[in-house]
Amino acid sequence: MKKIFGFGQTVEGYAVPVLNEREVRASAGILFFFALVSFLNSWLIGNFRLTRIFVIAFLIDFTIRIFINPKYSPSMILGRLAVKNQVPEWSGAPQKRFAWAVGWTLAVVMFYLIVLNNVIGPINLIVCATCLTLMFFESAFGICLACKIYNAFSREQAQHCPGGTCEIGEVFTPHASQKVGAGGTAIVVMFLALIGFVGPHWFPAAEAVTPTAEAPAAVTAAGGKCTPPDWAVAMGHAEMWKLHNNCK
């Protein structure tokens, strides 16, 4: 039973059980992708079917992680396959378990709200946004936000954090190559200003078409008819094609 149930691996030189941070980040990236797709379907189209499916999948995945063993979590297995040719980067398992417990709690809340009771409202948006934020920071930056508050709830301080942040604390001095400086900040600001200027001027928002006697609903602003092409119908994309072409 010990081989099935457990949390983290025992690796020589580490005082606490550890997890491969590369697998964890890959897994978070996979979950973030599907979470974002389902969230956008709900937010932009009003289709909550994918969200319900994802919530169930997420809850099952995290239940396996926390209560059985992370090595049997489907998303962790996929993450392991994705980084199998990379050297492991070990991070402390205790703080990860705490962080995943936070994610599991959010999944339970979403399961109760949107799967069991079909509740749709601001609370769903807040929970989804929180999950997306946590997964994005984990996958993109290797920053476990929930791990940051682990020390407040545990007598044992977190160990072996990604990038050595647990050990270096405030005494760490960034290498010269890590510093952004005024020049880097200026580049980012100018880039955002340029995109902010170019976007609205070159690609103005399309106006919705209002059917009239002179311009019936079958005609779009561009003068084309709102009859989906054969390829869109063949792939079941007819309604989405109409939406993209301002026909709805």
Query: pLDDT tens for residues 174-186?
Result: 777 878 888 899 9
Residue type, 68: I
Sheet strands (E) in the chain:
18-20, 90-92
Higher pLDDT, 242 or 92: 92
Higher pLDDT, 67 or 120: 67
Higher pLDDT, 125 or 3: 125
Asked if the structure places residue 175 within a domain, the reply is no
pLDDT mean over 149-153: 79
Q: What is the pLDDT of residue 34?
A: 95
Asked if the structure places residue 191 within a domain, the reply is no
Q: What is the pLDDT of residue 231?
A: 76
Helix/strand/coil for 120: coil
Helix/strand/coil for 190: helix
Helix/strand/coil for 20: strand
% of residues, the chain, pLDDT over 70: 85
Q: What is the pLDDT of residue 112?
A: 94
Asked if the structure places residue 141 within a domain, the reply is yes
pLDDT greater than 70 at residue 205: no
Asked if the structure places residue 89 within a domain, the reply is yes
Are 150 and 219 members of one domain? no
pLDDT greater than 50 at residue 229: yes
Contact 4, 70 (CB under 8 A): no
Asked if the structure places residue 10 within a domain, the reply is no
Query: Which of 77-91, 142-156, 212-226 has the weakest average pLDDT?
Result: 212-226
How far apart CA 232 and CA 241 sit, in angstroms, is 7
Are 33 and 151 members of one domain? yes
Are 139 and 236 members of one domain? no
Asked if the structure places residue 239 within a domain, the reply is yes
Are 217 and 148 members of one domain? no
Are 51 and 136 members of one domain? yes
Q: Read off the pTM.
A: 0.75
Residue type, 88: P
pLDDT mean over 116-131: 88
pLDDT greater than 70 at residue 20: yes
Count other C-beta atoms under 10 Å from residue 41's C-beta: 16
| Average pLDDT over all residues of the chain | 83
Are 135 and 36 members of one domain? yes
Are 162 and 221 members of one domain? no
Query: Of 151, 168, 185, which marks where a domain is finished?
Result: 168
Are 219 and 134 members of one domain? no
Contacts of 242 (CB under 8 A, 6+ apart): 226, 228, 248
Higher pLDDT, 230 or 244: 230
Asked if the structure places residue 182 within a domain, the reply is no
pLDDT greater than 60 at residue 220: no
Burial class (CB in 10 A: 0-12, 13-18, 19+), 25: buried
Q: What is the pLDDT of residue 224?
A: 53
Helix/strand/coil for 28: helix
Residue 98 sits in which domain range? Answer: 18-168
Are 154 and 38 members of one domain? yes
Q: What is the pLDDT of residue 155?
A: 75
Q: What is the pLDDT of residue 145?
A: 86
Are 139 and 244 members of one domain? no
pLDDT greater than 60 at residue 1: no
Contact 27, 21 (CB under 8 A): no
Q: Give me the number of domains the chain comprises.
A: 2
Are 39 and 134 members of one domain? yes
N-to-C CA span, the chain: 57
Q: What is the pLDDT of residue 215?
A: 44
Asked if the structure places residue 121 within a domain, the reply is yes
Query: For 39-81, how does the pLDDT look when each residue is reduced to its tens digit (9 = 90+)?
Result: 998 888 778 899 999 999 999 999 999 999 999 999 999 999 9
How far apart CA 40 and CA 85 sit, in angstroms, is 33
Q: What is the pLDDT of residue 206?
A: 54
Sorting pLDDT into bands at 50, 70 and 90, what band is 171?
low
Are 160 and 240 members of one domain? no
